[in-house]
Copies of this chain bind each other. A is one copy, B any other.
Amino acid sequence: MANYVLVHGAWHAGADLQGVASHIQAIGHDVHTPTVKGNGPHDSKMVGLSEAIESIVQYLEETASEDIILVGHSSGGMIITGVADRSPHRIRRLAYWNAYVPNDGESIQDMTSPQVVAAIEALAAERVDGSVMLPFPLFREAFINDGDLETAQKAYKMLNPQPMQTFRDKIRLSTNPADMNVGKSYINCTEDTVASHSYPWHPRLSEKLGLFRLVQIPGSHEIGFTHPDRIARAIIEAGRD
> B-facing mask of A171-182, CB < 8 A → 1, else 0?
000000000000
Which stretch (A34-42, A60-68, A102-110, A190-198) binds chain B? Answer: A190-198
Whether B191 contacts A198 by the Cβ 8 Å rule is: no
Whether A211 contacts B142 by the Cβ 8 Å rule is: yes
Taking the closest CB of chain B, its distance from the CB of A220, in whole angstroms, is 8
Whether B213 contacts A190 by the Cβ 8 Å rule is: no
Whether A138 contacts B191 by the Cβ 8 Å rule is: no
> B-facing mask of A210-236, CB < 8 A → 1, else 0?
011111101000000000000000000
Chain B positions within 8 Å of A15 at CB level: none
* A207 within 8 Å of B (CB atoms): yes
Taking the closest CB of chain B, its distance from the CB of A13, in whole angstroms, is 25
**Interface size range of chain A in the complex:** 20 to 34
Whether A211 contacts B148 by the Cβ 8 Å rule is: no
* A141 within 8 Å of B (CB atoms): yes
Whether B197 contacts A203 by the Cβ 8 Å rule is: yes
Chain A interface (Cβ within 8 Å of chain B)? 137-138, 140-142, 145-146, 148-149, 183, 190-191, 193, 196-198, 202-204, 206-207, 211-216, 218, 237, 240-241
Closest 10 CB pairs of A and B: A197-B203, A198-B203, A145-B213, A141-B213, A149-B241, A193-B214, A191-B216, A141-B211, A191-B214, A145-B214
Beyond contacts A191-B216, A198-B204: 13 other A-B pairs, Cβ-Cβ < 8 A, are A140-B213, A141-B183, A145-B214, A146-B215, A146-B237, A149-B240, A149-B241, A191-B214, A193-B214, A196-B203, A197-B203, A197-B206, A216-B218
